[in-house]
């Protein structure tokens, strides 16, 4: 169970200290060039899946992000979307307008607050969003088919830990991942 590993905060210091001492290089240890570069290559190919599929529809990466989150959280407001994407409303509006015009997304006045706009995917919006998600999921499926059993849970922990600390709880809640992070798991 993921909660088997819900306790401890002390190892942090030791590991970091060991890492620092192990490397003669100034500052804070030998740069992790391998991980730095792998983040670049892995992300590039990962988003490539979505890019390639969506270009058939004349939609770009920005459209995809909006469609994805609207599909994932139907009823999302503009403000919530801006908070998730961390872009300006002008940037959002440009792509959102396309999605509305082309009937991938529809907007209705907020239920509680009619100043707000709640966003919903249309039938074709859902289909497209799911098509992309499945394509991306196939990449993950191929990946984990080659890795050991806990690899998927480990990847989730790793990626969540990579998120800025101040954002981590929000992200964890959004993606539905249990915030294992604050209290890591199976120690040595």
- Choose, by CB under 7 A, the member of 65, 104, 132, 157 that binds DNA: 65
- Choose, by CB under 7 A, the member of 47, 53, 62, 174 that binds DNA: 62
Residue 60 contacts DNA per CB under 7 A: yes
The nearer residue to a copy of itself, 4 or 112, going by C-beta atoms, is 4
Q: What is the largest CA-CA distance in the chain?
A: 61
Q: What is the DSSP string of 8-37?
A: --SHHHHHHHHHHHH--STTTSS--HHHHH
* Residue in the structure block whose two tokens are 């890492």: 19
Q: What is the DSSP string of 85-125?
A: HT--HHHHHHHHHHHHHTTSEEEEE-SS-TTSEEEEE-HHH
The radius of gyration of the chain's CA atoms, rounded to the nearest angstrom, is 20
CA distance 164 to 181: 12
How far apart are CB 109 and a copy of itself at their closest, in Å?
Answer: 27
Residue 36 contacts DNA per CB under 7 A: no
Site string for DNA, 117-156 (x = CB under 7 A): x---------------------------------------
CA distance 94 to 59: 12
How many residues belong to the site for DNA (CB under 7 A)?
Answer: 29
90 binds, among DNA, a copy of itself, none (CB under 5 to 8 A by kind): DNA
95 binds, among a copy of itself, DNA, none (CB under 5 to 8 A by kind): DNA
Interacting residues with DNA between 71 and 90 (CB under 7 A):
77-79, 82, 86-90
8 Å CB contact between 103 and 125: yes
The footprint of DNA (CB under 7 A) covers 58, 60-63, 65, 77-79, 82, 86-91, 93-97, 107, 109-110, 113-117
């Amino acid at each position: 169970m993921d909660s088997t590993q819900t306790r401890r905060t002390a190892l942090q210091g030791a590991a970091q200290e060991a890492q620092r001492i192990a490397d003669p290089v100034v500052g804070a240890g030998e740069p992790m060039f391998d991980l730095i570069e792998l983040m670049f290559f892995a992300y590039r190919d990962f988003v490539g899946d979505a890019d390639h599929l969506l270009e058939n529809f004349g939609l770009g990466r920005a459209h995809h992000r909006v469609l994805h989150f609207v599909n994932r959280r139907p009823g999302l407001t503009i403000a919530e979307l801006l908070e998730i994407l961390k872009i300006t409303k002008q940037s959002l509006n440009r792509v959102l307008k396309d999605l509305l015009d082309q009937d991938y997304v529809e907007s209705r006045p907020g239920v509680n607050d009619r100043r707000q706009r709640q966003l919903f995917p249309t039938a074709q919006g859902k289909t497209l969003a799911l098509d992309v998600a499945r394509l991306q999921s196939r990449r993950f499926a191929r990946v984990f088919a080659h890795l050991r059993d806990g690899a998927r849970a480990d990847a989730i922990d790793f990626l969540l830990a990579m998120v800025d600390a101040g954002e981590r709880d929000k992200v964890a809640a959004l993606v539905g991942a249990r915030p294992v992070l604050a209290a890591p798991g199976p120690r040595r």
